Amino acid sequence: MAKESKQDRIVRQIQDHVSEHFHELKALEGNPGTKEAEVERWAQSFIKSCLGYSAANGYTIRAQEQKGKMRPDLVVYQGDAPIFVVEVKRLGFNLDKSDFRCGKVQLQEYLFSLGKVPYGILCNGHEWRLFDFSNPSGVIEMMSYDLRNDDDKLELNKKFIEDFCYDIVSLHESTFRAKEWPEFAKEATAFSPESLSRAILSASVVKLISKEIRGEHDYKANIEMLFGKVYDLLAKGLDDSLKDFNETKEAEFHKYIKSQMRVVRKARKINRKSPGAEGVVKEESTAELVPPMTDKTEAA
């Protein structure tokens, strides 16, 4: 019998609590008169029972005492120290509005007033978004969870709830206690659209794309032109760049990506089995392959 992992143990411990809160949220959904205060009470219970920020684990959750007095909805304390703040919106509120209207600016002000607490959560019942406000270059959205399925519906079946439990382990107090959240912030920064775009448009990556194209189509691409084409693809996206991009084409791309991921995993296994193998690919110089930027390239 396989040994139970830490993640498996947490899921086993919280699954019944999460299921109970899903049913409670379903009831709130069914009531057109549900008030924001009810969603707040539900969120507080979810944080305590499902995410583990309970008194038994050394945490307290304080709800605001007054409205409109610069008081956050919920503040989670570890001992006497506030560790994150939760701004709760009405059920189904659009969290994609401007930073000011969705409450992100308000959340940042609360954090600053508490002594520059780094972490804050926006919640509308269905969606939970964790932010790191400590980065000097800007707010980082570290994690985002939606309790609903792809059809924006709340499912109550056991399999869906179990899968969701595995997702939210990253938000659990045991993960916070293990000081893993700073790593999640680094990951979110590294995988941000700006970071990925710069990486894809780096000379070394464009050179690799050129090699791949030459192997696939027996065509030696002009590097300067290739920079422009890759940039266009990033700027427009697949939806706009491919006229026939539909569900079938999207499925083909996902199938291709999975095949490439298998190649990567296979290479990692080989490297792990090889004695002394470091698995490091030596990066070649690409300076001679990248011509000076021209007006044409800049316009692309």
300 residues of the chain, pLDDT tens digit each = 568 899 999 999 999 999 999 999 999 999 999 999 999 999 999 999 999 999 999 999 998 755 555 678 999 999 999 999 999 999 989 988 877 778 888 888 888 888 889 999 999 999 999 999 998 878 899 999 999 998 999 999 999 999 999 999 999 999 999 999 999 999 999 998 889 999 999 999 999 999 999 999 999 999 999 999 999 989 888 788 877 788 888 888 878 778 877 777 777 666 666 665 444 444 333 333 333 333 333 333
Are the CB atoms for 28 and 34 separated by under 8 Å? Answer: yes
Strand pairing report for 81-88 and 119-123:
parallel
Delineate the domains of the chain, giving CATH numbers in brackets.
6-190 (3.90.1570), 193-299 (no CATH)
Tokens of 239: 């939806």
**Integer Cα distance of 91 and 293 in angstroms:** 51
For the record, the structure tokens of 114 come out as: 């508490």
Residue whose C-alpha is closest to residue 140's, from 115, 124, 119: 119
Token pair recorded at residue 238: 């697949």
Q: What's the predicted TM-score (pTM) here?
A: 0.74
